Structure formats: structure tokens, C-alpha cells
Chain A
Amino acid sequence: MENVLTPPAGSPVDFAWLIPVVPALSAGLLLVFGKRLGRLSSAVAILSIGFSATLSTMVFAFLQAQPEEGRVFVRTLGTWLSVGGADGLRVDWALLIDPLASVMLLLVTWVGLLIHVYSLGYMAHDERNPQFFAYLNLFAASMLILVTGSSFLTLFVGWELVGLCSYLLVGFWFERRDYATAAKKAFVVNRIGDVGFMIAMFLIFATFGSLTFADVLPAVSTAATGVLIAVGLLLFVGATGKSAQIPLFVWLPDAMAGPTPVSALIHAATMVTAGVYLVARASPLYLEIPDVGLLVAWVGAATAFVAAAIACAQVDLKRILAYSTVSQLGYMFIGVGVGDYTAGVFHLLTHGFFKALLFLAAGSVMHAVADETDIRRMGGLFSKMPVTAVTSLIAVLAIAGFPYTSGFFSKEEVLASAAARPGAQGIWVLGILVAGMTAFYMARWFVLIFLGSPRWAEGVRPHESPPSMTLPLVVLAVGSAAGGLLNTSPEDGFLHHWLEPSVAAFAADGHFLSEGLLLGAALGVAAVGGLLGALLYLRVDVATVGVGGGARNAARRRYYVDEVYETIVMRPGRAMADAFAAFDRRGIDGAVNGLARMTAGVATVGRRTQTGFVRSYALAVLAGTVLIAALFASGVVFGGIR
């Protein structure tokens, strides 16, 4: 970050600001004129995101053509905030285009484009179709602001806006009350994390006097370690909210209430990875505080494990994927936590491919079986929808880490880094365990949906989805299968080199096991898990799926986390709010009204003297006059009459 350049005029980077602006303008256009545009609105939306994707690719190519040390650009558009004079806050609207941002741009725009295309078929019959595309555009714009933000604050703008879009899209079918509740829950839980982010920014500003990455990140080594630890922890609190980690992961499974393309785009491929991106972006800071990094990794590992366990017991096809996402996000945090930021970002990218694919496939399945989501009422769909099934299989293999798929490379790299980090062996063990569980629940998912005997309801005619939906599946399947080529080995993979100017390098300390053993252990556990899942559920009696007590029940009920939060946070909170409201009415207003009543009481006593009879007033006047005269005469006042 030391060597920040201004992009040459006319280069793609110079126009990079159009990447978020065009979808944003399109969103505004569709929101205002969507009704009049009708079917045309989806075309506008796809064109705008297509534009961004093209420009992003050009930016990427441009960066690649630059010498390695000259790939960090800041394109400043203008001042956003300049508050409080010379020593005050100053934040520009500016884009930071560097290798990390460029790969994120590619992921967001291209996956975004595919999902826009997919929505063409998926949302074809929804009456609020233009609005949906407007929100998708708005989301893309927000996410692009997030990944190109050149300061903590501009990143935060995107960070909050994606939260808004998530709210709008999760609650897209707001007529259902539980969907609306899920939307609100997503927003509010995210906000809890955001407060951590905000306080981190206060602290950063108080320490460094700036919020711009280019000012702050090169200077981290000058700050006190205590401050850095606080900042690191607070930023991570923000990341746990957005990326659904313990303790703030509860919103993501509920967020599946949104239309499936939304789940694929926002709650799998892009938005939820923002936390990982943030940690990677702030990698120079985390490099100074390795212990906080270790904590991040532990939280990631714990989340990965808990979410995988829950995923094994769910029967809703989207919920399984949601918990799987939480679990895979845990892997990413293991990667960035142990200090191998490249590995974390690599897993972020491959996960973007295969998880988006899984969700889109799930949407395609739901499309085929009349919006059924219970995997117990599917089965035998392989022959009915071959494209969906085959692409799903590729994604399942990728997420399970089947050799030479994209997930294999990225997950192995994360695990290898964990093994190479002193003090992180426990994390490695958990990671291996989760790899096995992942293979297990994904095999279960695939088998129950596509294989075995048909169990769908009567009258349902499963069919393959239209090309607008299967085309994105195929493209993503290619990505899922071949995405590993990005970084075939931790030492000299492409991504490894590419990200060098952006993120701190990983200092491997030598593995505690040999590389072969590491790889063998991971593959072995995954194979066992996968085979177990496949064999167990191929011949299973569905009546026994999703029932059972003890540990299975606890996992199915998501370990009662929601209930616990309800008891220890929501209920006392409501009670406190109730008490305050009562205090306001009876306490403060009671005192005010009491004062008024007291005044009135005094007045009532005084009023007795006012009889209403003129003569008594006249008598009082006379008495007063006589009294004054008497006082005068006796010399009590004014010294008497001289």
C-alpha cells in the first residue's frame, strides 16, 4: 500500500468509478420507471451489470499489464466529507483499485451477471419483477462500492448498503409475515456487528487521524499494540455480523426467505464474504497482532464445526446450504486468521463459484417441484433434470474437496496454512473434521434430492428449467470444476503472486506433519464422510430423516441459539424498554403533572377568597385602605406623618 498511483487518464482504471455507478443508476431508473418499462427492465438491469463486468475485466487486464509494483491505484472523484477544518475528518469518494479489489470486482460482476440472467427465468412470473431487478442492481452497486472503497468509511458505505439490499431482497415477498421478520432480523443483527466496525473506525481515526487505507495501513506498526488489538477485535466483530460467524450467525439461515437468486448472490457468493474481505484488506494490521488473528481463526473453526453439525440435521434444501455457507465462511476466517490471506481469499473465490451454483441448482429444483423445499419430498430427480443434477454434482464434489476441483485446492491451502501456524494445530484438527462433515451433509443433500425413489407430492411434474436458468448453472459448474487453476499451489500459484501487492504474505513456519500426510488426512476424512453420507441416505427410509432425539434433535433445533438469544437479550431488552416507557409516563410525566396539580391545589385554596360578590371586594379594599392609613399614622411605615 506504500506505492499508490493515480491512474493514467483514459485507462480503464480511470473509468473504474463507472463500475458501481452504472448499476446504481440503473437501479434508480428501474425503481422510478420500472412499471412503465415492464419486461424491458430486466434487459436494462442485465445490460448495466454486463457493462460493469466488462469494465471490471478490462481493469483486471490493465492491472495485469502493469509492472508488479505498480498495480495499486486510487481514483479520486471528489471530497465526500470534510468536517471540522484542518485537523478534521476528511474522506474522499475514491476507488482503490488493486489486485485484491480487481479479483473481487470480477467475482461480484460476473457472478452477479450470471444471477441476473438466471433471475430472468426464475422471477419471470413475479409481478414485481422490475423492482426485483432494481434491487439486484442496487445490491451489485453497493457490493462494488464495498470492494473498491479506498477508506474504511467508504467501505463502510458499501457495507451498510449491502445490508439494506439484503433487507429489501430477503423481505421481497413481504406479504409473508415471517419473511418480513427474517429481513428485519438480518438487518438488525448486521447492525450489531456494524457498531463494532464503527467503534473501530473511531479508534482508527483517534490513533491515525485518517480513515484512508493508504494513510492507515502503512502506519500500523507505529501504533500501540493495545490499540491495534482493540481495532482488530472490533473490526472482527463487524465481520462476524456480515459474514455470519459465531455469535452473530443466526440471521443467515432465516435470510433464506428471500428468492433463491438472492440467496445465491448475496447470502453465498458475495455479501457474506465481505467480512473476510475486510480482514484481508486490513491484513497489515492483523499481521501486527497475530494473537487476534489466532482468535479469528478459532472463531472461524468453531463456527465451521457448529454450522456443519447443524447442516447435517436439516431437511430444508436451502437451509442446509445456508448452514453450509456459514461453515465455509468459517474456513475462510481460518485462512485469514492464521495469516494466510491469499488462502482465505482463494477459498472466498472458489466458494463464490460452487456455492452460487448450489443455490441456483436448489432454485432450479424448487422451480421443478412447485416450490417444495423439504428434501424428504424430492428424490429421483436426476433423470428429470439432468443439467441441474450434473452441475449440482460438480458443485458437491467441489465443496467436498474432491481432488482437482476448485474446492480441493482452496480448502487444502487453508488447512495446510492452519497446520503450518504454531498454536493452530487444534484448528487444523477441527478443519479436517469439518471437511468430513461437509462431505457427509452434501452427499446427503445430493442423494436425497436427485437419487433414490421419487417422493414428490402428487400432481407435481418435475421438469428441467429454461435455458436462462441452466446456462448460468453450466458456466458456474465450469468455474467450480476449474477454479483451482487460479492457485494450484500455495508457493507459485497465480493468485498467490497476484495478491502480493494487496495483502500481507504468509510466513509458513513448517508443518507439524508432512505435506503428504496432511493431504492424505484431509482426503481420507472427506472420503469417509462422503461415502457414509451417500450410502446411508441412498437406501434410507425417509420417515427416519429429520426425526430422532438427543444430539440430532438439538442440531435440528439449531442448538437453541435463537431461543437463548431470545431469553438473554430480547426479553430483558423488551422488559427494560417497557420499564422505561412506564417511567416516562409515570415518573417524569407524573412529576410534571404532579407539579401542575400542586399549583392547582394552592390556587384552589386561594380561590376561596374570591367570593364573586362585588361588595366583599369593596370591603376588602376598604379594609386595606384603613390598614395602610393606620400603619401610616402609627409610624410603622414611612416614618409616620410628619
Chain B
Amino acid sequence: MPGFPLLTALIAVPAVAAAVVALLPSTARGALRAAAAAGTGATFLLSLLMLTDFTAGDAGFQLGEQVAWIPQWGITYRLGVDGISLLLVLLTTFMFPLTVLAAWEHTDRPKGFFASLLALEAALIGVFWALDVILFYVFFVAMLVPMYALIGIWGGSNRRYASVKFFLYTLVGGLLMLVAILYLYFKAGATSFDYDVLAGVALTGTEQLWLFLAFFAAFAIKVPLFPFHTWLPDAHTEAPTAGSVILAAVMLKIGGYGFLRFSLPYFPEATERLAPVILALGVIGVLYGALVAMMQSDIKRLVAYSSVSHLGFVALGVFALNPIGAAGSVVQMVNHGLSTGALFLLIGFLYERTHSRAISEYSGLLRSAPIFGGLFLVTVMSSIALPGLNGFVGEFPILLGTFATSRWAAVAAAFGVILAALYLLWAYQRMFHGPVEGRAVGFADLRPREIAVMVPLVALMLGIGLYPQPLYDRVNPAVEQIVADVRARTDVAAADEAAADEAATDEAATDEAQEGSP
């Protein structure tokens, strides 16, 4: 379909659906959820068109759309897609219908709930499509609002603290980024906020460093990297199931996405200079997140810390600055979305039945609910990167790529693999093995609707694990270009510096020679 604005349509469909839900009477529960399901389902089906419209081997942006928005300031409505954003958007559109299906029986003020979810979807897709920096920023902040509402209104007992913490963390990072964006804008001659224009701005080393740090603040909080992670366990624990799922599956990915989309291409020299520090933070995140996860007594908190650990790998892969690691990172983001999203969905089913997240209150769940236990185990195995399931095909290339850049970082992070097995299997053993006791007594196994939510997820885990090539085919060209770009620009800078040094020494030598010959 040439000329059809597919990218805009993908933002518009959930947005319109959100409006429709908002206009329906709040008592019409059936109509509300039907509208939500239709909206997210239509978005997913529409996103499948991307698979045919997108050319896999092409590195640049495709299916671009551009309309002037605020021409006085050079702000445009520019969208585009490359392999990285394609995968993340497909993940988004895939997860939302499942989330709606999982929240099918949601009874507490369903109108606002479903409207928030749909608005969130529109904003998230917008973040990945946007190729105008202000447009990106607008979506980046817009997604905060529905998520804030989801946690703050439909959350658990400590929801106020969690939602405010979530909001402030993200906003602070976002504002620092905004300042950096404005600096870039004026440096570039104050004519355009276009992604490519700002990428071409010539910056000194110091400028790069500060601007990099400002962008880094926004994305490191989102990833989240140690030590900016403590908002995550609170937000995850207090959020309703749908919120946790979307937060883990999609929202955290904006961090890794931002690194690849902005940090690396915009500030290559600063990236190169700070990469060792960020690798160290990534390794710390992997190990620290795993160790802290081990000590949690709340299963949701445990999974939240496991996210800190798993997403530390993403930072490693990106800042290994080679195509293997970076491509692995993108796939790891997708995989983490699937497996952690699935874990939160399963914990949601658990919580709906018993209203407890305490690990110690369960024992022998596998006996009372074998389907639930089996699906949980598959998800756990995917999360601890068992080969044959999806986790491995992301994590292994990341470690391989990191090893090429920094051996000790890869070796240290590899130990996270042991720890992941330890904390997840320990929790699994405590909750699912042993005699049937505590809240596991009389625990009802999954209903068909819940199984229907899990089947596509498990199928994808297996499918990606055995045949990840469709993902890598789309990611490889994009990350190769990004990394090659960084390499080229840092090499040029290094050459300049070397030339300058040489000139200086030459000069000095000439001076000396002149002094030597009276």
C-alpha cells in the first residue's frame, strides 16, 4: 500500500480507541473491554503489515512520513522505522492485546483503566517512531501520564509513593535531556529539531561529554542501570498486572533504544570515552540485581530485580560498541519483554486468586496447578537463558560481543548466568515444589482465557529460541551502521588529535632546532 501512512496509523488507532473508550459510559464493562480489545488487536494486525512493507536488509530509516508541525521553530512531525524500532514496536503491539485479555475481568473503574492502557500504547509507539527530537520528547513525556495513572490509581497499597517516585525519576531524566536537546538545537543554528540535523552537529569533546551525560540520565533511568534502578522495584510491585507487564516489556526498552538511537550516533567520542564506565555499571547491574533479587520475599519484587540484572546485559551489549553485542542487545530487549512480561502476567494470575505475593505463603503449587506451574517453569527457563528458548539467543551474542571489547566485563557478567539460575529456581522451588500448603491449597489451575494469553508468549519463546534469524536479519544492518558510524567518527577525531599532536611536536622540534642553531 504505497502512500498509506502506516506509522501514523499505528499511533492513531490506539489513540482513537482510547478516545472511544473514554466516551463510552463507564458502566458498560463489556463494551469497554471489547473496545480495548478491538483497539489493541487492530493495532497488532496493522503492525503485521510492517513485516511486508519493511525491507529487511536496509540499514536506514524506512516508510518515512514528514509534515511540518511548528515551522517557526523547525519542529516537524517526522516518523520513520529501522530494524531496531520495528522490533520494539512489534513487541509493543504484541504485548498490548495480551495485557487487555489478561485484564478481561478488571472491575475497578474499567473505563479509565482501558483508556489509560490505550493511550499508553499510542505514546509508546510514538516514542519508537519519532524522528524529530521534540516529537520524541513529547511522546517520551506523554507516556508518563497514563502509566502514572495506572500505578497511582489501580496500584497496590503503597501506590502513591511508587507512582510519584516513578514519575519524578523519569521526569528528571527527561528534563535533563530536554536541556541537552535545546543546546544541540541552538548549536545547530536553531533551524531544525530533525533527528539527522542534530546528529550532524560538530561538538567539542567537553560539550559531547556533558550532553552525553544529560541524555544518559534520561535513558539510564529508563533501562534502569545501577544505581538509578530503585524506582523500578517499587513501581513494579505496586503497579497492577497490566502496568507491570507494559512497564517491563516495553517501557524499560526505551532506555536501550535511546542509547542506540541517540547516545551513540550523537556523541560518538563521549560514548567511546565513557563506555568502560558504563560497561562497569552494566556488570554491577547484572550481578547486583541478581544478588538482591535472591533476597526478596515478594515474588514481584524478585522479578523486578531480575529485570535490573537482565537489562544490565543490554547496556553491556550496546556499549561493547560492536555489531554482535549491539544486535544481541536489541534481541535481548525483545526477549526480556516476552519472558518478563510473561512472568508478570503469571504472577498476576496468581495474585488474582490469592491476593498475596509473598513467596513463603506458597508451597506445592505445581501439584495443585500443573498447567500454571509448567508454564511458569518454561518462562523461568527462558528468563535464565536456557539454550533453545529465546533468552539465550540474545544473551550469548551480548557476552560474545562484550568479550571482544572488555574481557573481564564479559567474564564477570557470565557469572550472572549462575546467579539467575539460583534466584529464579530457588523461588520456583519454594513456591511450586514441596507438599501443597498455604495458599496453594485449593488453588485453581489456569482457565482457558489465561492459557490463551500464555500460549502465544510461550510459542514465541520457543520460536525465537530455535530460529531467531528473522529478528537478526532486521537488526543487523541497523546496528552495524550505528556502530560503524561511531567507529568512523571516533577514528576521525583520534586522527585529528594525533595530527594536532604531531603538528605541536613538529613545531616544538622546529623551535628547538632554531634555538640550537644560533
Chain A residues near B (Cβ < 8 Å): 31, 78-85, 87-89, 93, 153, 156-157, 160-161, 164, 167, 171, 174-177, 180-181, 183-184, 187-188, 191-192, 194-195, 198-199, 201-203, 205-206, 574, 576-578, 580-581, 584, 588-589, 592
Contact B400 A202 (CB under 8 A): yes
Partner of B291, one of A80, A157, A198, A580: A580
Chain B's nearest CB lies how many Å from the CB of A95? Answer: 15
B386 and A160 form a contact (CB under 8 A): yes
How distant is the Cα of A576 from the Cα of B325 in the complex, in angstroms?
Answer: 30
Judging by beta carbons under 8 Å apart, are A161 and B476 in contact? no
Q: Can you show 13 pairs from A to B with CB atoms below 8 A apart? A: A84-B322, A153-B396, A174-B366, A174-B433, A174-B434, A183-B429, A199-B411, A202-B399, A202-B400, A580-B291, A581-B295, A584-B230, A588-B229
Q: Compute how far the CA of A242 lies from the CA of B469 in the bound complex, rounded to whole angstroms.
A: 30
A164 touches B400 (CB 8 A): no
- A184 engages B425 (CB within 8 Å): yes
- Check if B268 is an interface residue, CB within 8 A of chain A: no
Contact with A along B476-489 (1 / 0, CB 8 A): 11011000000000
Task: Verify B433–A180 contact, CB threshold 8 A.
Answer: yes
Known interface pairs A161-B386, A581-B296. Does A576 touch B291 (Cβ–Cβ under 8 Å)?
Answer: yes
> Nearest Cβ in chain B — how far from A567, in angstroms?
18
**A592 and B327 alpha carbons, distance in the complex (Å):** 34
Assess the B421–A81 pair: CB atoms within 8 A.
no
Among the listed B292, B295, B392, B418, which residue makes an inter-chain contact with A195, where contact means beta carbons less than 8 Å apart?
A: B418
A312 to chain B, nearest CB (A): 33
| Cα A177 to Cα B415 with chains together (Å) | 27
Q: Within 8 Å of chain A (Cβ to Cβ): is B227?
A: yes
Contacts of A192 in B (CB 8 A): 418
Contact B410 A202 (CB under 8 A): yes
Q: Which residues of A contact B291 (CB under 8 A)?
A: 576-577, 580-581
Residues of B within 8 A of A (CB): 165, 227, 229-230, 288, 291-292, 294-296, 322-328, 364, 366-367, 374, 381, 386-388, 392-393, 396-397, 399-401, 403-404, 407, 410-411, 414-415, 417-418, 421-422, 425-426, 429, 432-436, 466-469, 472-473, 476-477, 479-480
| Measured CA separation A580–B473 after assembly (Å) | 40
Given contacts A157-B388, A174-B366, contact A84 B403 (CB under 8 A): no
Give the residue name and chain of the B residue nearest to A83 (CB). Answer: B397
> Measured between alpha carbons, how far is A85 from B480 in the docked complex, in Å?
7
Report whether B296 and A198 are in contact in the complex, using a CB–CB cutoff of 8 Å. Answer: no
CB atoms of B479 and A198 under 8 A apart:
no
Is A157 touching B387 in the complex (CB atoms < 8 A)?
A: yes
Residues of A within 8 A of B436 (CB): 175
Q: Decide if B292 touches A187 in the complex (CB within 8 Å).
A: no
- Considering the chains assembled together, what is the distance between the CA atoms of A31 and B323 in angstroms? 38
Known: A174-B433, A187-B425, A195-B415. A81 touches B387 (CB 8 A): no
The answer on a CB contact under 8 Å between B324 and A89 is yes
Residues on A with beta carbons closer than 8 Å to the beta carbon of B466: 80, 93
Chain B residue nearest in CB terms to A168: B377
Q: Which residues of B contact A203 (CB under 8 A)?
A: 403
Inter-chain contact B400/A89, CB cutoff 8 Å: yes
Using A88-B323, A195-B414, A580-B292 as known contacts, say yes or no to A80 and B386 having CB atoms under 8 A apart.
no
* A580, B432: Cα distance in complex, Å: 26
CB distance from A283 to the nearest CB of B (A): 24
**A180, B429: Cβ atoms under 8 Å?**
yes
Secondary structure call for the A interface: helix
Smallest beta-carbon distance A338→chain B, Å: 30
Question: What residues on A are CB-neighbors of B422 within 8 Å?
Answer: 188
- In the A-B complex, list the 7 residue pairs whose CB atoms are closest, starting with the nearest: A84-B323, A180-B433, A84-B324, A202-B403, A581-B295, A157-B387, A174-B433
Q: Is B364 a contact partner of A175 (Cβ separation < 8 A)?
A: yes
Of A82, A180, A199, A580, the residue contacting B434 (CB under 8 A) is: A180
Cα distance A63–B374 in the bound complex, in angstroms: 41
| A-chain residues with CB within 8 Å of residue B381 when the two chains form the complex | 164
What total of A-B pairs shows CB separation below 8 Å?
146
CB distance from A100 to the nearest CB of B (A): 22
The smallest C-beta distance from B217 to any residue of chain A, in angstroms, reads 14
Secondary structure dominating the interface of B: helix
Q: Is the CB of B396 within 8 A of A88?
A: no
The docked-state distance in angstroms from the alpha carbon of A593 to that of B292 is 19
Question: In the complex where A174-B434, A175-B367, A188-B425 touch, is A84 in contact with B479 (Cβ < 8 A)?
Answer: yes
Give bound CA distance, A194 to B395, whole Å: 14
- Residues of A near B434 (CB, < 8 A) are 174-177, 180
Is B472's CB under 8 angstroms from A83's CB?
Answer: yes
> Quick one: given A188-B425, A580-B291, A592-B165, are A175 and B433 in contact (CB under 8 Å)?
yes
Cα–Cα distance between A85 and B327 once the two chains are bound (Å): 10
Give CA–CA (A193, B386) in the complex, Å: 14
**In the bound complex, how far is the Cα of B396 from the Cα of A589, in angstroms?**
32
User: From A31, which residue of chain B is reached at the shortest CB distance?
Assistant: B374
How far apart are B452's CB and chain A's nearest CB, in angstroms?
Answer: 14
On chain A, the residues within 8 Å of B374 by CB distance are: 31
For B435, give the chain A residue with the smallest CB separation: A175
Q: Is the CB of B469 within 8 A of A581?
A: no
Question: Out of A85, A177, A588, A592, which one reaches B476, CB within 8 Å?
Answer: A85
Q: How far is the CA of A459 from the CA of B479 in the complex (A)?
A: 72
A206 with B295: in contact, given A82-B469, A174-B432, A198-B399 (CB under 8 Å)?
Answer: no
Residue of B nearest to A157 (CB): B387
Q: Which residues does chain B contribute within 8 Å of A191, judged by CB atoms?
A: 417-418, 421
Q: Report the Cα distance A184→B410, complex, angstroms.
A: 25
Q: Which residues on B sit within 8 Å (CB–CB) of A187?
A: 421, 425
**B401 touching A581 by the CB < 8 A rule?**
no
Q: Given A82-B476, A181-B429, A581-B296: A206 and B403 within 8 A (CB)? A: yes
Q: Would A81 and B393 be within 8 Å (CB), given that A206-B404, A592-B165 are in contact?
A: yes
| A84 in contact with B295 (CB, 8 Å) | no
> Closest residue to A194 on the B side, CB-wise?
B417
Across the interface, which residues of A come within 8 angstroms of B230, CB to CB? 584, 588-589, 592
Report Cα–Cα, A191/B386, bound state, in Å. 10
Q: Which chain A residue has the least Cβ–Cβ distance from B381?
A: A164
**CA of A184 to CA of B432 in the docked complex: distance in angstroms?**
12
A574 partner residues in chain B, CB cutoff 8 A: 294
Closest residue of A by beta carbon distance from B418: A191
Q: CA–CA, A161 to B325, complex, Å?
A: 24
A83 touches B414 (CB 8 A): no
- Could you tell me the distance between the alpha carbons of A566 and B495 in the complex, rounded to whole angstroms? 55
B72 to chain A, nearest CB (A): 30
A199 contacts across to B, CB distance below 8 A: 403, 410-411, 414
Least CB distance from B360 to A in Å reads: 13
Known contacts A198-B417, A577-B292, then 18 further A-B pairs from the complex at CB < 8 Å, ordered by chain A residue: A80-B466, A81-B396, A89-B400, A160-B386, A160-B392, A167-B425, A175-B436, A180-B434, A184-B426, A188-B422, A198-B414, A199-B410, A202-B400, A205-B403, A577-B291, A584-B292, A588-B227, A589-B230
CB-CB under 8 A from A167, the residues of chain B are 425
> How far apart are the CA atoms of A214 and B169 in the complex, in Å?
52
Residue in A89, A176, A194 whose beta carbon sits within 8 Å of that of B397 in the complex? A89
Q: How far is the CB of A582 from chain B (nearest CB, A)?
A: 9
- Contact assessment for A88 and B324 in the assembled complex, using a CB-CB cutoff below 8 Å: yes
Given A177-B434, A577-B292, check contact A156 B387 (CB 8 Å).
Answer: yes
> Considering the chains assembled together, what is the distance between the CA atoms of A177 and B430 in angstroms?
9
Interchain CB contact under 8 A, A578 and B418:
no
Flag if A164 contacts B469 (CB, 8 Å): no
Cα separation A183 to B366 with both chains bound (whole Å)? 15
Query: Bound state CA distance, A84 and B296, in angstroms?
Result: 37
Q: A175-B367, A191-B417 are in contact. Are A161 and B294 (CB under 8 A)?
A: no
Identify which of B322, B324, B417, B467 contacts A80 (C-beta below 8 A).
B467
Q: In whole Å, how far is A54's beta carbon from the nearest beta carbon of chain B?
A: 25
- Inside 8 A of B403's CB, which chain A residues have their CB? 199, 202-203, 205-206
Given contacts A81-B469, A174-B432, contact A188 B418 (CB under 8 A): yes
| Cβ distance A568 to chain B, nearest Cβ, rounded Å | 16
List, in ascending order, chain B residues with CB within 8 A of A83's CB.
323-324, 327-328, 397, 472, 476
Q: Please tell me if the beta carbons of A171 and B433 are within 8 angstroms of each other in the complex.
A: yes
